[in-house]
Amino acid sequence: MPAPGILVTGGAGFIGSHTCVALIAAGYRPVVLDTLVNSDARSLKRVACITGIEPVLVRADVRDAAALDRAFAAHPVRAVVHLAGLKAVGESVADPLGYYDVNLAGTLSLVQAMGRAGVRTLVFSSSATVYGDSHPSPIPESAACNAVNPYGRTKAMVESVLADLSRSDGRWGIACLRYFNPVGAHESGLLGELPHGPPNNLMPYVAQVAAGERDCLVVHGADYDTADGTGVRDYVHVMDVAEGHVAALRHAACRPGVLMTNLGTGHGASVLDVVSAFERASGRRIALRIGPRRPGDAPAYWADARGAFLALGWRARRDLDQMCADSWRWQAANPHGFDDPAPAFAANLPRFQDNSGADTDANINSNVGHSHA
């Protein structure tokens, strides 16, 4: 029996490529649809190094209805994992229309194409930014969505659209995953985060300081009401997030309706916690200096992670030390990203195993229309 096909939009990116690894390990056949504007097709070669299977790549934009129709016709799939989109908060403030176009209009285009193809199982990449910055932590899924920037508002709007769609048509099974702070890399050193320009996120920036590519880390505020005065966030390993997609896919495939759930560890780590863990992982000192707070930064922000365990049987398994160790392995083995050859040691590593917790994919087609069953 052939492996069930899953369309992964944005599948050549950081979270997308790791999700492809998890999908293949779980017995699926990912078909990647990506513009490659903020990603690299060579990530899929690295997926093949890890799994022995290279995902099919369709270079297309989710806003292109005709291209989507061609993709669904050429590559029959049973479900969609929707990761494509713009994700920089600061950029969204400078270019809100661009974000509404790609993230909101692009998702509408995709869902309409899914309807035409008879594919009604969807996992959507949402974000903890939908909550805004006024809630005490841990933040449950029941907290009000008060996004404070255009990026977060695009995610909240898409969630509302998908909830309305589910209410109007009971054939849809949808899971919206509200990520907190995905970090780390695949344990092989073959896949990791590849920022375009200065990293927007803490861990890849720390990795570049450790590698000598940047002089020091600027800590934005050390006078918060936290244990060490620095900001606290919920960092979650990217492979845990990837496995969360597999669990959500299985859930959405057999349970019509819409699920909103957090993906986080349920614990916070401060900036200095991350620095200390990265120093242990790399054996190098991380130079830093204390700067002023950034406007709008919350002192502490982490997930109530119980909902994902109750609904999906999923919980984050990898701790901060492993996040840093895997991130450093990726950085050290790939200082120039995918321009470097695949690390030789990776060939000796065991194939990635399915740790997502489900037993079977026999019911994956329960919410799928006949045209692509």
CA 70 from centre of chain: 26
**Is 131 a catalytic site residue?**
no
pTM of the model: 0.92
| DSSP reduced 3-state for 11 | coil
Q: 338 to each of 15, 49, 234, 343, how far by Cα in Å?
A: 16, 13, 28, 11
Q: How far is CA 195 from CA 38, 87, 129, 305, in A?
A: 9, 12, 20, 27
The CA dihedral of 210, 279, 187, 126, to the nearest 10 degrees, is -80
Among the listed residues 151, 179, 224, 301, the single catalytic one is 151
- The strand pairing partners of 178, in sequence order, are 126, 262
Exposure string for 239-248, b = 16+ CB within 10 A, e = fewer: bbbbbbbbbb
Give the residue numbers spanning the domain of 347: 5-372
Walk along the chain (373 residues) and give the pLDDT tens digit of each residue: 789 999 999 999 999 999 999 999 999 999 999 999 999 999 999 999 999 999 999 999 999 999 999 999 999 999 999 999 999 988 999 999 999 999 999 999 999 999 999 999 999 999 999 999 989 999 999 999 999 999 999 999 999 999 999 999 999 999 999 999 999 999 999 999 988 888 889 999 999 999 999 999 999 999 999 999 999 999 999 999 999 999 999 999 999 999 999 999 999 999 999 999 999 999 999 999 999 998 878 899 999 999 999 999 999 999 999 999 999 999 999 988 888 776 665 555 444 444 444 333 333 333 333 222 2
Read off the CATH number of the domain in which 100 is found. Answer: 3.40.50.720
> Number of structural domains, the chain?
1
Q: Among residues 300, 265, 304, 316, which one has the least CA distance to residue 143?
A: 304
Residue whose C-alpha is closest to residue 372's, from 56, 134, 175, 78: 78
DSSP for 147-184?
--SHHHHHHHHHHHHHHHHHHH-TT-EEEEEEE-EEE-
Cβ proximity of 219 and 140 under 8 Å? no
